[in-house]
Chain A
Amino acid sequence: MPRPGFVLDVDRSTPPILFWRGENYSLEKLPADRSRVIYAPEPEAAIEDIDSAIRHALLNPIEMDPLPTLLFPGMKLTIAFDDISLPLPKMTRPDIRQRVIESVLDLAAEAGVDDVHIIAALALHRRMTEDELRHMLGDRVYDAFAPRGMLYQHDAEDPDNMALLGETPQGEEVEINKRAAESDLLVYVNINLVAMDGGWKSTATGLSSYRSLRHHHNTHTMENSRSFMDQHKSELHKSNWRMGEIMKKHGPKIFQIETTVNNDTFPSAFNFLGKREWEWNARDRAKFVASSAALSRTPARMRRNIFQSIEAPHQMTSIQAGEVEAVHKVTTANVYRQQLVEVQGQTDILTMGIPFICPYNVNSIMNPILVMCTGLGYFFNLYRNKPLVREGGVIIMTHPTTNEFHPVHHPSYIDFFEQVLTETTVPSELEARFEKKFAEDEWYKHLYRTGNAYHGVHPFYMWYWGSHALQHCGKVIIVGGDAPTIRRLGFTPASTFNDALEIASDVVGRSPTITHFHTPPIMIADVK
C-alpha cells in the first residue's frame, strides 16, 4: 500500500533536505521549528494487464458508444496524440500512446477503415524528431504510417490545413487542424501527468493555432487562474471549455482517451531522489555523494546528456475513454488521488529546487526563461485552494540559471531574452509591446514549420505562465545561478541558501515560516 503525501515539520534532528539544482542537487539544512517539507505520495500500483485495460476502456466508454460501433468502412478516422512534453521524464518503452494507438488501429482494421491519419497534437511546440516519434509511437506504428504520409505533426501555421469552426460568445475564435475537423471521428490519445492536462485542452489547444491560442494563453487568463490544477478556478480551462462547446456543435465527433500514470519518476540508479532523506540507506547516501561529486566535475553538455537519457518507470494507473468532459472528470479524480497532499496554511517563504527538465526542454537545454516558467509557472501553480506562499511572500529557487539556449529548439527565446527582457519583465507590458511582432515573424514561422523550433510566440507564453506568481510574490530569489542572467529575469541572485534567507528577511522579517516543495515527483498541494 503506497503511503500518502506527507508534510514534515523540521526539527533539530531533521537531516539536510535535497534541493535540485538543474542537472545536479545539493543538501540544505532548513531552520528548525519554523520550516516544513512537503513530500509527494508514493507511486500508486500500476495496472497489471495494460492491454486488457485499454481494450476494456475502448469497448466500455463513458457516455458514448463503444469504439467499434463508431467505426465503419469508408470513414475518415484521425488519431491525435499528446506530444513530447508528456510524460516527464519520458517513459520507458513501450509508451502508453503506442499501446493505445495500436489497440485503436486493431479495431479500425477489424471495422475495415482505410483512411486513417495520425497527428501529433503539438500546437506551437517544436516538431519532434523521428527518434522521438518512434519512442512514443513504437516502430510498428511509425513504419506503417510515416512513410505514407499518414503520420505527421500538426502545423499551426499552415493556412490551408486549418479550419475555423466558429467563435465563442466571448469572441474567441476556434480554429483547429482541418483534417481533424473534417474527420468522421477524432480519437484523442492523452497522457494526464498533471490535473491541468486533458479535457477540451487536448483538442482546443493541441490541434489549434495562434489565432485560437491567444485567447487563453495571455496574461489576463494566467493571472486569473487560481490555479491551473483546479479546472473550476482556472480561466485557462474555462476558455478551453467554451471552445469545446463550439467543437461539440461544429466540430468532429471526438472519442477522448485519457490515461493517468503513477509518479514513479526515477530509474533505480537515481531512485534515492524520490525517497525521504531520513530513509536513505547506505547505498542511497553513497549514490548521492558519488553522483553529485561526479556531476559537479562533468561538462554541462555531458551532464545534460546523462539526465536527458533518463527514462522514467512511470506506469499506467488508469485509462478511460468516451465523451470528453465525462472522461476528464474521472481522469482528474485519478490524478488527484495520486498527487494531492493536504497542507495546512500558507508560508512566508516557499523554496523549490528546479530540476533538469520541464515540458519544453526535453532533449534540450533548460534556458533561463524555462527556469522562470518551471518555478513560477508550474511549481508555484501546483496547488488547490490557495498558493503555498502567502501574498507578498518570497520564493527561493535553486538552479544554475546560465545564459544558455538551444539554438535549434529555442531560437525566439534568445531574442526574447536579449530584446524583450532588457526592456521590461512585466508580463502585461511585454505582451502589449512585443507579442504580435514575435508571433508573426516569418523567420520564426519558417523554423517552426520546417525545423524543430518552438513557435516565435512561445517564450511569451512561458513568461505568462509565471505572471500569477509574479503578481502574488514580494520577491523571487535564485540560489547558485549566474547573477547577470538572474538580474535580467528581474529576480535576485544569491550565492548560498543562507544568503537567500538573509535577503528574504528584508521582505518577510527575521523569523519567517519556510516550506520546501520537495518535487519531483510531481504533487499538488491542497492548501487548507
Chain B
Amino acid sequence: MANNYPQFKSRSEAARRVLQKGARGIASIEKIAFKGVAFWRRAGFPFRAPSVPRGVSVPPKEPHLGAYFDTSFARKPAARAVRRILVAGPVTAMVKFLARPKVEGIDRLSDLAKRTDVGGVIFAPNHHSHIDTPLMTTAVPSPWNDRLVVAAAADYFFDKRTKGTIAALALNAFPIDRETTSRKSSDELRALLARDWSVVIYPEGGRSPDGWGQDFKAGAAYLSIKTGSPVVPVFIDGTGSVFGKGMKRPRRGHVRVIFGAPLFPEENDNTRRFNERIEKAVTLLGDESLTDFWTSRQRAAAGRSTALTGPEYSGWRRQWSLYEHRKMGAAGQRRRQKRRWPNLG
C-alpha cells in the first residue's frame, strides 16, 4: 500500500526542516514586535505619559504600596467566596502536605464562641515561618475562620501590587508597618475588630532570625485594650524546621498548633503589663507542647518554663540548645525512627 506521507532522505533532514520552519516563525513574530515597540517609542501623549512643563511642580503621588495598600476589596463577598475555595482547597492541601499539623486546645475557646458580647478576637501566635499564616488560616476554628484578617509585614508582602493582591486575596493579609508606628494600621484594625473581624497578629513582629523566639511587641495588647477584644495566645511548634527564615525551600515536617485560653485586659492592665501576660501565656503553651499539661504548669509555677526567646547566652551554645529544644518538640518527630526489629542473624 502506497504511503502518502512526505518522504525524507533521513531523519536529520526532517529535523532540519522543522527547525527552519520554527526559526521563520520566530523571526516573523520578532518583526511584528519590533514594529510595535517602534510605534510605542515614536508615539507621544496621550499614548505615553505627558511631559511636565518646566516650572511646574507635580504633587507627589498618593502612596499605594506598603502600609497604604488598600485591602478592602479582599473583604468583599466575591473575594471572600474565592478565599473560601482557596483556603479549603490548595492552601489546606499545601499546609497538610508540608506541615501535617496537629491542632490542639480548641476546646479552650468553646465559651468564647458562645458569648454574644464578644465580636472580633485577636489571635497572637509566635512566628517562625512564612507557613505560619496559611497554617493559622486553616487552624483557626469556626466561627472566627470566616472573618479572619492576618496582619502581615507591609514592607515584605505589600511592596509590589501583584504580591500584595495575592496576599490579600488568598490569606486576607492586612499591611502592618514594622518599621514605624503607624496610626493608620492600628485605626483600621480597630475598625475591623469593631465590625467583628478577627485578627491574627504576630507579636514578635517578624519571623525568628535564629530559631528562638523574640520579645513580644505590644501591638496585640494595645489593640485589645483599645477595643476590649480578647487575645487568644497561640503557640506554633515546628514551622521553623519546615520553612524557617533563611531556608531556600520548604522541607516536610510535623507541626503543632496549640490554642490557649482567651485573655481579657483587666482593669489595672496597661499595654506593657498585658503584653507580658500574653507572652507568658504563649510561653506556657510552648512548654506544654514540649512536655505536657501538668509538667508545664509545674514548671511555670516554679519559674522554670523554657523562655520563648531561648537561653541568655549567645553563639554556638544558643544554636546547640536550639537543636536540643527542637528534638523535644513537634519538629523532632521527623527524626524519630520507626521501631526496627533486631537483626538476629
What interface size band does chain A fall in? 20 to 34
Interface residues of A in 77-113 (CB under 8 A from B): 93-94, 98, 102, 105-106, 109-112
B interface: dominant SS? helix
Interchain CB contact under 8 A, B298 and A138: no
B280-313 interface with A by 8 A CB criterion: 288, 292-295, 297-298, 300-302
| Bound CA span A139–B261, Å | 15
Residues of B within 8 A of A50 (CB): 111
Q: With A51-B261, A109-B300 known to touch, is A116 a contact of B294 (CB < 8 Å)? A: yes
Measured CA separation A145–B295 after assembly (Å): 10
Q: Mark A103-145, 1 if CB is under 8 A from B, else 0.
A: 0011001111010100000000000000000000011110111
- List the B side residues contacting A105 at CB < 8 Å: 293-294, 297
Whether A49 pairs with B111 at a CB distance below 8 angstroms is yes
Question: Which residues does chain B contribute within 8 Å of A110, judged by CB atoms?
Answer: 297, 301
B62 within 8 A of A: no
- A279 interface residue per 8 A CB criterion: no
Residues of B within 8 A of A106 (CB): 297
Asked if A160 CB lies within 8 Å of chain B CBs, one says no
On chain A, the residues within 8 Å of B104 by CB distance are 139-140
A144 touches B301 (CB 8 A): no
Task: Tell me, in angstroms, the Cα distance from A238 to B111 when the chains sit together.
Answer: 39
- Kindly state whether residue A48 has any CB partner on chain B within 8 Å: yes
Complex Cα distance A453/B207, Å? 53
In the bound complex, residues from chain B placing their C-beta under 8 Å from that of A144 are: 292-295
Q: Judging by beta carbons under 8 Å apart, are A145 and B294 in contact? A: yes
Q: Which residue of A lies closest to B114 (CB)?
A: A48
Say how far B109's CB is from chain A's closest CB, in angstroms.
Answer: 10
Number of A-B contacts (CB under 8 A): 47
CB distance from B1 to the nearest CB of A (A): 66
Beta-carbon contact of B107 and A141 below 8 Å: no
User: Given that A140-B293, A144-B292, A144-B293 are contacting pairs, would A109 and B298 also be in contact in the complex, using a CB cutoff of 8 Å?
Assistant: yes
Closest-CB distance, B261 to chain A (whole angstroms): 7
Is B261 in contact with A109, judged by CB distance below 8 angstroms? no
**Which residues, 9 to 51 on A, are CB-close (under 8 Å) to B?**
48-51
Range of interface residues on chain B? 10 to 19
Look across to chain B and name the residue whose beta carbon is closest to the beta carbon of A47: B111
Residues of A within 8 A of B293 (CB): 102, 105, 140-141, 143-144
Q: Which of B111, B295, B297 contacts A48 (CB 8 A)?
A: B111
Are the CB atoms of B294 and A109 closer together than 8 Å? yes
Residue in contact with B110 in the complex, picked from A94, A109, A114, A145, CB distance below 8 Å = A94
A112 with B301: in contact, given A49-B111, A93-B107, A94-B107 (CB under 8 Å)? yes
B261 touches A138 (CB 8 A): no
**Which one of B111, B261, B292 contacts A143 once the chains associate, using CB atoms below 8 Å?**
B292
Q: Which residues from B are CB-within-8-Å of A139?
A: 104
Nearest CB of B to A147, in Å:
8
Contact: B111 with A140, CB < 8 Å? no
Q: B41 at interface (Cβ–Cβ under 8 A)?
A: no
* Smallest beta-carbon distance B142→chain A, Å: 14
Contact: A140 with B288, CB < 8 Å? yes
B305 vs chain A, min Cβ distance (A): 11
Q: What residues of A have a CB within 8 angstroms of the CB of B288 in the complex?
A: 140
Which residues of chain B are near A140, meaning CB under 8 Å?
A: 104-105, 288, 292-293
Tell me the complex Cα distance, A49–B172, Å. 31
Q: Are A48 and B115 in contact (CB under 8 A)?
A: yes
Among B107, B108, B294, B300: residue with most chain A CB under 10 A: B294
A106 to B301, CA, bound (A): 9
Bound Cα distance A432, B241 (Å): 69
Q: Which residues of chain A are near B111, meaning CB under 8 Å?
A: 48-51
Q: Which residues of A contact B292 (CB under 8 A)?
A: 140, 143-144
Among A49, A116, A138, which residue has its beta carbon within 8 angstroms of that of B107?
A138
Question: 20 new A-B pairs (CB below 8 Å) besides A48-B111, A109-B298, A112-B298?
Answer: A49-B111, A51-B111, A94-B107, A94-B110, A102-B293, A106-B297, A109-B294, A109-B297, A109-B300, A109-B301, A116-B294, A139-B104, A140-B104, A140-B105, A141-B293, A143-B292, A143-B293, A144-B293, A144-B294, A144-B295
Using a CB–CB cutoff of 8 Å, the interface residues on chain B facing chain A are 104-105, 107-108, 110-111, 114-115, 261, 288, 292-295, 297-298, 300-302
26 example contacts (A-B, Cβ-Cβ < 8 A) are as follows A48-B111, A48-B114, A48-B115, A50-B111, A51-B111, A94-B107, A105-B293, A105-B297, A106-B297, A109-B297, A109-B300, A109-B301, A110-B297, A110-B301, A111-B301, A112-B298, A112-B301, A116-B294, A139-B104, A140-B288, A140-B292, A140-B293, A141-B294, A144-B293, A144-B295, A145-B294
